[in-house]
Amino acid sequence: MDIKGLFSGKKESRPAEVQPLMNGRVKPGFCCFAVTDDCMLRCKMCQKWKGEEVIRQHPAATLEEWKKAAVSLRTVVDKGFEIDIGGGEALMVKWLWEFVKFCSDLGFKMAIASNAYLLDKEMAKRIADSGLHSMILSLDSLKPEKHDFFRGVPGVYDRVMRAIELLHKHCPGLHVGICSIIMDANLDEIIPLAHWVNDDPRLKSILFMAAMQPNNTPVQDKWYEGGELDLHWPKDREKAIKVIEELIHLRNRGFLIGNSVQQLMAFQAYYRYPDRFVKVGQCNLNKGVHVSSIGDIFLCYRWDHLGNIKKDDLATVLYSEAAENARKKILGCKDNCHFLLNCYYEGDYPFVTEAVS
């Protein structure tokens, strides 16, 4: 699972700020280390698990290589900079908690998105010692059979519930949140999820995500218009927009909804007009840092491959000529890219919201 900018949605809207380093270079604003592409689940809205053959062919970066990258990154960001650990399913990585502890000790704020499947008592204790700041668990329905259907494996719902209880018991102070995708088959369950999180003292937030083209499928402009990829796209778009209207209402009432109102309005525009360009401002992934499971370094995955943490120093790569060229392309990128709807975005979500009314 890959959630970008887990907490960026909580900030109220404000103009995007460029934060220059002393020598005029742009500081990273968002970082995701995708420590594995492997996953034990078979989610309908993600096909990463179909890449098992490819995963085996390309050796993943090692713990020592990730540590070296973290040390390097720390030279160009402030204390408290957030690293989002993503995947695949990060909890499958054997050395994960050693790495989280290492990064926490370096001064990073560490956040993990997980499907919760592997989270047992022993792991909860390791989490407590790791300095992890936040754990965001996927849950798309309060109906066990439906969540398990989405996730392609029986028993996942029960494991999420077990994980919430274990984290509550063993990890005081950890931010435990829920992440739910707004899809065709769970439209009636989005509002109950928001209420449930709000009423449960063990949980600190719920973050909603818009349905996207499934991970690991070839880019297809009109993926939501039929065929096997549109399974999750709300067939009744007006209903989806109404559900999101209610979320906005709850958010304004102080519910623990991690998305900003602007982001939820952007979701509405997207569900109504998915084929329209959803971003009118410049993309801010010029400040992004993405490192894939095999160590490849990108600002945005759609643009230039800049190096690899197995052989390159991450900070040097981020300020290389190649990176500066990639930044120029990103600032001028006119893709009808939906990534930013769920992703790190610092500004006002200047999407085509006026088109909704």
Which of 342, 349, 340, 348 is CA-nearest to residue 3? 342
Our CB check for ligand SF4 shows the closer of 114 and 130 to be: 114
Min dist CB 88 to ligand SF4, Å, is 5
Our CB check for ligand SF4 shows the closer of 43 and 315 to be: 43
Min dist CB 269 to ligand SF4, Å, is 16
Our CB check for ligand SF4 shows the closer of 18 and 195 to be: 18
Min dist CB 333 to ligand SF4, Å, is 3
Q: Where do contacts with ligand SF4 occur on this chain (CB under 6 A)? A: 1, 39, 41, 43, 46, 48-49, 87-89, 115, 215, 279, 283, 285, 300, 302-303, 330, 333, 335, 337, 339-340
Our CB check for ligand SF4 shows the closer of 250 and 263 to be: 263
Render the burial of 246-282: b for 16+ CB within 10 Å, e for the rest. ebbebbeeebbbbbbbbbbbbbbbbbbebeeebbeee
Our CB check for ligand SF4 shows the closer of 52 and 246 to be: 52
Please give the residue whose beta carbon sits closest to ligand SF4 in the complex: 337
Min dist CB 96 to ligand SF4, Å, is 15
Amino acid at 49: W
- Which strands, in side-by-side order, build the sheet including 134-138? 205-210, 175-182, 134-138, 109-114, 82-86, 30-34, 288-291, 296-298, 307-308
Neighbours of 105 (CB within 10 A): 10
Min dist CB 246 to ligand SF4, Å, is 25
Our CB check for ligand SF4 shows the closer of 74 and 327 to be: 327
- HSE at residue 291, side-chain half, CA atoms within 13 A, is 28
Q: Please, what is the end-to-end C-alpha distance for the chain in angstroms?
A: 33
Q: Say how many residues make up the chain.
A: 357
Our CB check for ligand SF4 shows the closer of 262 and 342 to be: 342
Retrieve residue 209's tokens. Answer: 């995500």
Our CB check for ligand SF4 shows the closer of 38 and 250 to be: 38
Min dist CB 8 to ligand SF4, Å, is 14
Min dist CB 287 to ligand SF4, Å, is 11
Relative to beta strand 205-210, strand 288-291 is unpaired
Min dist CB 35 to ligand SF4, Å, is 12
